[in-house]
Chains A and B, each alone.
Chain A
Amino acid sequence: MSVPVFVGTLIIPENWSPGMRVSLKQQRKIIPYAFIIPGLLFFIIFQLYPLIKGLQMSFYNWSIMPGKESTFIAFDNYARMLQDPIVKLAFKNTFMYAIVTVPGQMFLAMAAAVLLHNLSYGKGFFRVLYYIPVVTSWVIVSLLIRYLFNSPQGLINYYLVEVFHIIAKPIPWLIQAKYAMVPIWVLGIWKGIGWSMVIYMAALNGIPQHLYEASAIDGANGWHNFWKITLPLMRPTVVFTLVLLLIGAFNVFISVFLITGGGPAQQTEVLLSYAYHQAFDFLKFGYGSAISMTMAAFLVLASYLQMRFLRNPDETN
């Protein structure tokens, strides 16, 4: 039975004929299903099913070759993760990325938001400029960062050595493991500032002016106001950006994939890039799925906590 026929029999009453007006009561029974079906089909086939399939694959030594059986190996893929030194490293790199870029973005975005909020002219103009990295695709900015951090003769090295004389010798950015994460962090912070900043600016606009007027009578200064009025009132917004940025940070992939490719010698691999390389370079679909599923569990938990915070902002205070 083809899909349209199936849908038709479900939504059109038996005694229907062209030109007939379907009563509102009948419509109320039909319309919700008719409206939900296209979206739901896409959701079930391309969202829900892959998730379940991925879970299944993670328990198999999955074979992608036609004719070759996949074998059920229960938790072996997960057990293997615990022993894999690169998984440990990838976890550490992902974690460090979050530790560096999330506070970095939040701090700089807050500073930029307060700064722009207090400008008497050019506010909108600067907001656009600061937001441009956000709308630029990850592919473009990642390749751009790779160009800037080229070593020894890249622009960043040029500025550090020749212009500002901060260091004597160029840094081998993408060549040595200990430096290779730095361009990825810089990109994460630089590209993200505008997003948090726009959200903070909207929150700043929502703070009633009379609070500041009242505190000015009490002789408070700007610094004091920020800590005692602005920041407490922005707390739900700050929590919101914190959680979303954390989730975003754990999703880091394209920048690593394009800037270092996980190298040198897999030293900059993050969880998603490692899962991707396992699946599509080494054809370990089962193992890649196990890594992905482990991450999914963390991320669902994080999102769930975020919803709790957002649904009841009062409870968090």
Chain B
Amino acid sequence: MKINRKKMFKFLLFLLAAAGAVIMIFPFVWMVSNALKENVFVIEYPPKLIPDAPSFGNFVRAWTSNKFQLYFVNSAITAVTSTALTVLFSAMTAYSFARFKFRFKEFLFFTILLVLMVPDMITIIPKFQLVKTLGLRDSLWGLIVVYVAGGVSMNTFLLRGFFESLPKELEEAMLIDGGNYLTVFFRMILPLSKPALATVTIFSFMGNWDEFTWALTAIDNPLKRTLPIAIYSFQGQHGTEWGLVFAAMLIALVPIMVVFLSMQKYFVSGLTTGAFKG
């Protein structure tokens, strides 16, 4: 009898969790439902969850229209380049902070930390001026340099803690055996830090792929748009043709969902190490 009550209780919990999940994904369900309805130019009322004649027409139209593929490529170039540079430079900087003594080390680290506390949005006005002066407006490089700079300070901070937790003895052994610091860094530190580097890579990539505000500010030329900007202006152009807009959004979501679903274990560890080291 008692066991049954316990089972009932567990089942009730499961139902509650399922109800919560319905609320959490409710907007996405409608997004998918609308994306499957072709040629709907006004908001349906009453709305229908199950489309009468579901089709992928909106996806095809979104993908083939309005230089969407170009925007996808722009986003990919920007996100991949800035992520690669961010991971490399922040690992190098963090290694330097973790293992060497040099002048102004702690002062520098403190400065980085202080600036890190200022959100990117705060300096968007002077950044715009700077990038304009450097001639990087309307260029993907104008996005990349800013993303890398933001990523390096953040991740230097996270990786320094991780590198410091690695045992020094291994490095010393490798140096005695005739290795130098470059081989130590590339052959030992980086391979040993795969989980931390993976976390940094994932979070940088997702942040760079989705970045909206800076891209909106720095890019005017429609040929240099990244996906978030493209979707924003796509919505502006196609007003109430939500099916088409949602199809475009779902395509933009694919890389994020692939990364998220395949790299899940790093999300939890990333959040919790960020929680207790940050």
Contact = CB atoms under 8 A, between A and B. Distances in A.
Contacts of A300: 114, 117-118
Interface string B194-235: 000000000000100110110001000000000010011001
Interface string B16-54: 111011011101101100000000000101110000000
A46 B127 contact: yes
Nearest to B147: A46
Contacts of A112: 17, 20
Nearest to B124: A276
A136 interface: yes
B16 A31 contact: no
Interface of B: 10, 13-14, 16-18, 20-21, 23-25, 27-28, 30-31, 43, 45-47, 88-90, 92-93, 95-97, 100-102, 108, 111-112, 114-115, 117-119, 121-130, 145-146, 148-150, 152-153, 156, 175, 180-182, 185, 206, 209-210, 212-213, 217, 228, 231-232, 235, 242, 245-246, 249, 252-253, 256-257, 260-261, 264, 267-268, 271-272, 275-276, 278
Interface string A258-286: 10000000000000100110011000010
A126 B21 contact: yes
Nearest to A28: B100
Given A36-B93, A153-B43, 9 more contacts: A28-B181, A32-B102, A57-B126, A115-B13, A143-B245, A198-B268, A198-B271, A292-B123, A304-B117
A272 B96 CA distance: 36
A135 B43 contact: no
A160 interface: no
B92 A130 contact: no
A119 B96 contact: no
Interface stretch (A48-56, A89-97, A224-232): A48-56
B129 A132 contact: no
Nearest to A248: B119
B93 A40 contact: yes
B17 A50 contact: no
A36 B95 CA distance: 9
B210 to A, nearest CB: 4
Contacts of B16: 115
Contact of A128 (B18, B148, B150, B264): B264
A171 to B, nearest CB: 15
A174 interface: no
Contact of B93 (A39, A144, A153): A39
Contacts of A154: 43
A139 B152 CA distance: 24
A131 interface: yes
B13 A119 contact: yes
Contact of B119 (A21, A119, A202, A251): A251
B232 A132 contact: no
A155 B30 contact: yes
Interface residues of B, dominant DSSP? helix
A120 interface: yes
8 A-B pairs with the lowest CB-CB distances in the bound complex, closest first: A46-B149, A39-B93, A137-B210, A32-B100, A303-B117, A53-B126, A50-B123, A50-B126
21 contacts: A27-B180, A35-B185, A45-B145, A47-B149, A115-B13, A120-B10, A129-B25, A130-B24, A136-B253, A137-B210, A144-B246, A155-B30, A202-B272, A240-B275, A276-B121, A279-B128, A280-B128, A289-B126, A292-B125, A299-B122, A300-B118
Contacts of A35: 92-93, 95-96, 185
Contacts of A299: 117-119, 122
A36 B92 contact: yes
Contacts of A296: 118-119, 122
Contacts of B130: 45-46, 49-50, 53
Contacts of A212: none
Main secondary structure of the interface of A (DSSP, over half): helix
A198 B128 CA distance: 36
A86 interface: no
A106 interface: no
Contact of A202 (B112, B122, B271): B271
Contacts of B100: 28, 31-32
Contact of A115 (B20, B24, B209, B228): B20
Contact of B123 (A54, A198, A257): A54
Nearest to B94: A39
Contacts of B156: 39
Interface string A126-164: 101111110111111101110110100111001000100
Contacts of A87: none
Contact of A253 (B96, B121, B127, B235): B121
Q: Which among A31, A112, A158 has the highest number of chain B CB atoms within 10 Å?
A: A31
A199 B272 CA distance: 6
A233 interface: no
Contacts of A118: 10, 13
Contacts of A288: 125
A13 B252 CA distance: 50
A179 interface: no
Interface stretch (A76-84, A187-195, A213-221): A187-195
Contacts of B153: 43, 47
Nearest to B211: A137
Given A122-B17, A292-B122, A155 B31 contact: no
A24 B180 contact: yes
